[in-house]
Chains A and B, each alone.
Chain A
Amino acid sequence: MNNEAFLNYLASVPSIDSIPPAQDAPGASVNAIEPASAAVVGQAVIGFVEGMSQQARDDVLDTVTYATLAADKRYNVVTQNGEWYTTFRAVMTRALHWASQDIAFLSYSSREQVVTMDKISLDLIASSITAAATGGAAGPLLQQIAADAVEALRKQDKPLGLFNSRTRKPGGARFVVGGCNESREGVIVLAVGAVEAKTEISVGNVLFFNWNSVAVDMNRSADVFVFHQSLYAQRRERVRQALLEASDAAFLEFPI
């Protein structure tokens, strides 16, 4: 694809607003308005190497947030386990100028004995970096950065588990762990490990919960993305605008 064709293609990428909300997608039955029916928890932890430029950090956070919102809007982790990351990845690569190194690690397992999600996520990053071999010298650094970001969470208090009685109700969780580095030449690499899990119990503490004794459907994904920041620069304002509009929607829905 030449440059012009590529830019034309980019222009045809659907906007975030054109992506149907989760309840319109087939199979989605959980209504976010009804808080007791399902517990979906999700968070992203991105670690940055010290010294990254402010612009790079802003761009990484903006793109990850945008892709997360787009995937959240389209897929519900409880009913459509596994699709969330596919969408996240598609938005990152097709709309936001992150080039995946084509080594996306994907696996699905049902009722597998697993340990904790932080370990899974970090293992995923490690294996994808090894497979890609594109992290180069930054590879171990990316792993370390992601591990540090997770460790910072772990050092906090024992997480709060109110009503931690393991009520059986459909629940799902997704977790994204990432490590990001900008080389001296300005090449920005982001290693991401994502876990989507579906379970029949309510889990209060996704990242460090010991899933060993719990029946869980789990999808694991990992990628190493390289950022085409100069191309993204052409979209930066649009993404900012879309994020602003997404926040506008919340204020319109909940005026005071």
Chain B
Amino acid sequence: MTHKIEQAYLNGAVLTLLATPVNQSFKDDALDCGLYVQLAASKQFDRFTHFQDWQTILIKALTAFGWVRLDFANQQQPISESIVVANLMREALSESLGSVGEEQLDQVFATRLTGLCAEASKAVVENSVQISRHHDVSSVVLQLALLLPSRQMALLCMAFETREIIGPNPFTQSLAKGSLIGDLKSFAFVGTLDDLRYTAYRQRISEALDDRRSGLRFAVRGAVT
């Protein structure tokens, strides 16, 4: 059975893709919990300057609020060639997503991500790029989540610094090797939301986000067909 990616949200700083049919309650829970843990991690650490510490808090918070970790991997490696983040993320997902059509993923990554609407594009850049005081270095943290009908989520995150000016779509921008500074840091988290566990947090997380949700989450047009 293959699924289509028909909805996308910018949820805080995470571009979140939903493979249909995603159960409505799982969608609400995953978006709320996802936003809450981002805010919690960012309250403790600045992801642009303290990526590893921020990552540790984020993963810890995810598991504390009911995400059962199925897999986790992180790496830090020198950048040896020009990169396009969308391609790296696509590659990371390619082995595992038998249930999501390859074509769908290609469409999202290769075609549709390039056509983010102006509003989404502006928000992605605002949430993913921090420019140094002297305007010569951009620190970039790009995050993508995929929600599946099986109540699972894959969260991918990549961080790097570059001297290049980041354009309207950092996911698809080709970044020249020479302008990249230091290592490419990344992690991937795969988890399933334990409903029994999340029941204890659902209402309070929802209430905590009541005042902030509208400014931090919106549906993205252009990311999907």
Question: Restricting to B32-70, which residues have a CB under 8 Å from any CB of A?
Answer: 36-37, 39-41, 43, 56-57, 59-61, 63-65, 68-70
Hey, which chain A residues are within 8 Å of B200, CB to CB? 65, 243-244, 246-247
CB distance from A30 to the nearest CB of B (A): 13
Closest to B38 in A: A256
Per the bound structure, the CA–CA distance linking A202 and B188 in Å amounts to 14
**Interface size range on B against A:** 35 or more
Chain B residue with the shortest CB-CB distance to A244: B200
Residue of A nearest to B64 (CB): A250
Chain B residues near A61: list those with CB within 8 A.
196, 199
Known: A160-B148, A160-B152, A204-B190. A254 touches B196 (CB 8 A): no
Interface string of A208-249 (1 = CB under 8 A from B): 000000000000000000000000000000000001101100
Q: How far is the CA of A251 from the CA of B197 in the complex (A)?
A: 14
Q: Is the pair A162, B92 in contact by a Cβ cutoff of 8 Å?
A: yes
Contact of B56 among A35, A42, A65 (CB under 8 A): A35
Q: Contacts A35-B56, A36-B73, A39-B71 given; indicate if A159 touches B43 (C-beta within 8 A).
A: no
- Using a Cβ cutoff of 8 Å, how many contacts connect chains A and B? 119
Q: Are A43 and B64 in contact (CB under 8 A)?
A: no
Do A65 and B196 form a contact, CB below 8 Å, given A205-B70, A251-B204? yes
Q: Which residues of A contact B (CB under 8 A)?
A: 32-36, 39-44, 61, 64-65, 156-164, 167, 202, 204-206, 243-244, 246-247, 250-251, 253-256
Between A and B, 25 residue pairs with Cβ closer than 8 Å are: A35-B189, A39-B72, A41-B68, A41-B70, A64-B196, A65-B196, A65-B200, A157-B150, A158-B150, A159-B150, A159-B152, A160-B97, A161-B70, A161-B96, A162-B95, A162-B154, A163-B73, A163-B92, A163-B190, A167-B73, A206-B70, A253-B64, A254-B60, A254-B61, A255-B40
Given contacts A160-B70, A161-B95, A250-B65, 6 further A-B contacts (CB under 8 A): A41-B69, A157-B1, A157-B3, A162-B95, A164-B95, A254-B40
B→A interface (CB under 8 Å):
1, 3, 36-37, 39-41, 43, 56-57, 59-61, 63-65, 68-74, 92-93, 95-99, 148-152, 154, 188-190, 192, 194, 196-197, 199-201, 204, 208
